[in-house]
A and B are shown apart, each in its own frame.
Chain A
Amino acid sequence: MSTAPEVSSARARAVQMAEAMAMEEHSLWHDAARQFIKNRLAVGGLIIIVVFVLAATLGPYLAPYDFLDQEIPNALQAPSREHWLGTDELGRDIFSRLLHGARTAALLGFSSTAVGLLIGVAVGTTAGFAGGRADQFLMWFSDLVQSVPGLLLAMLVNTTLRRPIGRWFDAMYEQTRNPAYLNTLWLDYVLVFGALTVIGWPGQARLIRGLVLSLRETDYALAARAVGAGRLRIMTHHIIPNALGPTVVSTSAGIGGAIVNEAGLSFLGLGVQPPNASWGSMLNRSLALWQSFPHLMIAPAVTIGIIRIAFIFCGDGLNDALNPHQRKL
């Protein structure tokens, strides 16, 4: 019989094909990374973000001066070799203050987005899986939060929580005698963090609920259920991996937005209070002097703009890389 060689050659071909497929098989993340690296704007954005995070963590060691050091005789100097970006109205080095402001922005931007994401995941998955009344209630509630203009809500939270949280800080100091509780810097941070979290979570909750609802109904989730996979397995093997892409993208956008909102609140004089450094409050103080000393205004404004755009480009790159099926027209 001459079938044996045929079978073996067919088998060989199958093995060959399988090997070829194995070589071309990439994980989602591998593909996404390749796609992302091809996008030059996104990589540029990512590099700026990395520099920003480094500046935030290492800032105090890199800064040429202490961000609180006042040299009144040297006030309002234009950029020079000693002071790279000049000095402000109290003779403080602007570059050092920008570095310290990066710390404020990064700390609040990342932490409030992370907590907002946690709340969003909790609310979104509950709403998506429970359905019915619970779903209606949770979505109505997040709609309600979103129907107050975000900035107004943040301002309200920031102002009205100052006194109760300040009192709580005082009480904690009385109990523990830990001087950290007397530091108003931390009080400002807690307040802005709270305000940013309150306005951040509804968007995440909405996104995650939508993902749960749509992914639950996909053919592959149905197929998994048909072959007897349990809820947990469908969750961990089918829903979470596919929900990660959009969530990563929205989180990246959320961090950029939170950084801008922190600067905005501080710009309005509500967020991080002087003498602590925030890009927003630096911009606020420059409003009085910008006509004679434009360098006071340029430094923080350009920094906020660059960081925001870096997050947008990075987010767009992530979106194209992780959600290839929903690329825009």
Chain B
Amino acid sequence: MGYTITEKILARASGGAAVRAGDEVRAKPDFVVSYDFPGYTDVIFRQMKDEFGIDKVREPDRFVLFIDHMVPAVTPQEEDLHQNTRDWGAANAVPVHERKGIGHQVAAELGYATPGALVVHFDGHVSQLGTFGTLAIGVRRQLLEAFVKDCILIKVPATTRVDLTGHLRPGVMARDVFHHIVRVLGPASCRFQVLEIGGAALADMSIDARQTITCLAMFTGAITAIINPDQVTLPYARERARLLIEPLYSDVDAAYAARHTIDLTNLEPVVVVPPSPANTRDLSEVLGTEVQVGYLGSCASGRIEDLRAAAQVLRGRSIRPGFQLHVVPTSQEIMRQAAEEGLLTNLITAGAFVTSPSCDYCFGRLGVMTAGQRAVSTGTLNVRGRMGSPDSEIYIVNAAAVAAAAIEGRIADPRRYL
């Protein structure tokens, strides 16, 4: 019986001997990634020093920090947090990247998504580095372990393999694919496992599309998602890779906890209705629902493919008066490309409010809703209060559907505008 890519990465990171799902191993993360956030990085920096007497991390090249939440700062306390992060980074010779975009995206742009590498973060959406054959796990406060020890103790996770087949129809996007996977498999289907995505349909899927799918793995219960490197991802990843290691791949006879095949041929656009990421429905079930706010952005969506789809829908059209459409490209690199392609011009001309990259629209810090308001969103999550008042509502849809709703002021099928 062969091995999964996850087992191979953890074998490599724990010294080389073969490991199987269920083994507990000491693994050395190749990269320790985080963004500054109260209760996480500030506490870790303090505990490192006060609890463990560690002034500096031993191998600063393994660490990277992003400032992407609370950007721009709106209170002195927020700026204090950022300054503390900059100071810690300078003292530790650890790079701090700010105002370059959402860290999970920028980490890929900067080569931390090295194929075959092990990455840890406190935030589970780092799973999107799995797009490049990197095993990237969000461990919440256990991230402290990676700051004070070289190795983390980790149980090798089992893997559920999902093969996607068929071709997506126009107007159906990666966002629909992911939430359809949740609908088919269930929100607890991959608990404590790795969701490995494969299948012939991947050949049609861009890096952007794959990042969307792997970003959201946690909503299947998985601790991360991973895709075996291929000709789509390897050129991008190897050109940027920060480590010289050989990519790893699942064996054809790898041992999986479960295998599923999902045919995408007849998939329609979907919606995730509030208040849970478990609630996938066909978009057609909620057409006509009045919405006042649209958010196109986040670490899950907001990449060039999403911006192109929205710009195509909005080209030559106007958003409904009074509708608030926030467009937030995921990184500066993406925003620059969108400008060069003329997408921003289309979006702005249609009436969109386009801002520089920030996580803040996704978690209710900017562009918040009041009671009774309802949004269509490509943000990560639709739980109560995620984007403002607990009495506002979030309908998760693909980028084209956000744009279509902005035109009509109601949830609309984007395909009529494509």
Whether chain B is bound by chain A comes out as no
B: which residues have CB within 8 A of A?
A: none
A: which residues have CB within 8 A of B?
A: none
